[in-house]
């Protein structure tokens, strides 16, 4: 047990990343039931839509789960904060915007607040604003990403050196080796998204899971760099069309329409890869099977423990030799 598991009241330091409008009760509950922290990502969904998922999740698990609110993405932030309080959601993660205005009211109602950051500067600001945990998200991560392009391997230790609150690593983690590496870098937990897509409980279209099984790390490409709206997605037919439009000078407004949550749902839920896209991190290259969420979480913990024991043994041998 460490500070992250204590604060979140979970056995394992594994957090599900928010998944926008494709978030659902089945996967969030499965992650929580497996000992991690399931998360409902609100995306651009209305309060009524999110409330339905919250109630469905509560029907499936009595264990803690989180609500992820993307501040500059959702047009319903205040309503979502009210929902979190109304339904006693114990953990709120705030991303894509300044969390400071919302932390005091969340703390007033006993919520643990996670702030997702992509730089030391923003981590320090989140800590100063009262965040309980910072999630340091590297450039390897799926979906909307930071223009700073700092990788998890470099970002996490920089943040861990500067803040006093616990750090969670996100981006490029999908197995026990990644969990062990994150802990060695100074994190006290990990947040994962892409790997949870390829699980038995995840109610996404089979084509999404098949694409992940077939993908290499280089198949998770960046779009929107020229517009300052970076998103990492799988290189599908639809994405190739977006790339061409970006080369031809697509406007920011039109790019926003092409990458809206409508097209996210078309790809991930409907399996329409001609009109929809699939978020994916570079960790796609490590996905080779579709386990249950419980099998995945337990294997991650077992592998991480073994990896750290091996590392300790090797370090001891080197020390003895010197």
Does the pLDDT value for residue 48 go beyond 70? yes
Whether the model pTM is above 0.75 = yes
Is pLDDT at 320 greater than 80 in this prediction?
no
Percentage of the chain surpassing pLDDT 70?
Answer: 96
Helix, strand, coil: what percent of the chain each, to 5? Answer: 50, 15, 35
The pLDDT value given to residue 148? 87
Q: Please, are residues 181 and 203 in contact by the beta-carbon 8 Å criterion?
A: no
In the predicted model, is pLDDT for residue 79 greater than 70? Answer: yes
| pLDDT confidence tier of residue 315, bands split at 50, 70 and 90 | low
Euclidean distance between CA atoms 223 and 230, whole angstroms: 6
d(CA 92, CA 319): 43
pLDDT of residue 217: 83
Cα–Cα–Cα angle for 41, 43, 49, rounded to 5 degrees? 80
In the predicted structure, residue 120 carries a pLDDT above the cut 70:
yes
Is it the case that residue 317 has pLDDT exceeding 90? no
Say if CB 169 and CB 203 are below 8 A apart: no
Average confidence (pLDDT) over 160-181? 96
Average pLDDT, the chain: 93
* Sheet (strand 190-192) strand order: 14-16, 190-192, 167-170, 133-137, 112-117, 91-95, 65-70, 38-41
Give dist(CA 227, CA 243) in Å, integer. 12
pLDDT for 311 beyond 80: no
Distance in angstroms (rounded) separating the CA atoms of residues 101 and 112: 15
What integer is the mean pLDDT of 182-208?
A: 96
Residues 248 and 236: beta-carbon distance below 8 Å: no
- Does position 32 have pLDDT exceeding 60, yes or no? yes
Average pLDDT over residues 275-290: 95
3-state secondary structure of 29: helix
């Amino acid at each position: 047990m460490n500070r992250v598991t204590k604060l979140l009241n979970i056995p394992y330091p594994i957090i599900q990343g928010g998944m926008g409008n494709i978030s659902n009760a089945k996967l969030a509950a499965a992650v929580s039931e497996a000992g991690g922290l399931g998360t409902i990502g609100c995306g651009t969904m209305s309060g009524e839509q999110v409330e339905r998922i919250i109630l469905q999740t509560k029907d499936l698990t009595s264990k803690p789960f989180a609500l992820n609110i993307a501040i500059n993405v959702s047009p319903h932030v205040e309503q979502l904060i009210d929902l979190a309080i109304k339904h006693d959601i114990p953990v709120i993660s705030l991303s894509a915007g300044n969390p400071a205005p919302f932390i005091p009211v969340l703390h007033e109602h006993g919520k643990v607040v996670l702030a997702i950051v992509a730089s030391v500067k923003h981590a320090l600001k989140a800590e100063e604003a009262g965040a309980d945990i910072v999630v340091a998200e590297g450039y390897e991560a799926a979906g909307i990403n930071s223009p700073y392009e700092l990788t998890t391997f470099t970002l996490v230790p920089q943040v861990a050196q500067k803040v006093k609150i616990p750090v969670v690593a996100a981006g490029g983690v999908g197995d026990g080796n990644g969990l062990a590496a994150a802990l060695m870098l100074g994190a006290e937990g990990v947040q994962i998204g892409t790997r949870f897509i390829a699980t038995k409980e995840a109610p996404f279209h089979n084509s999404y899971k098949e694409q992940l099984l077939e993908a290499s790390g280089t198949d998770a490409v960046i779009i929107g760099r020229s517009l300052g709206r970076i998103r990492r997605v799988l290189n599908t037919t639809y994405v190739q069309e977006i790339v061409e439009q970006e080369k031809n000078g697509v406007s920011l407004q039109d790019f926003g329409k092409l990458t809206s949550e409508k097209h996210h749902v078309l790809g991930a839920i409907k399996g329409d890869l001609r009109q929809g896209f699939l978020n994916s991190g570079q960790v796609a290259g490590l996905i080779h099977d579709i386990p249950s969420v419980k099998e995945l979480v337990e294997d991650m913990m077992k592998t991480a423990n073994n990896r750290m024991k091996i590392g300790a043994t090797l370090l001891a041998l080197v020390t003895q030799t010197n």
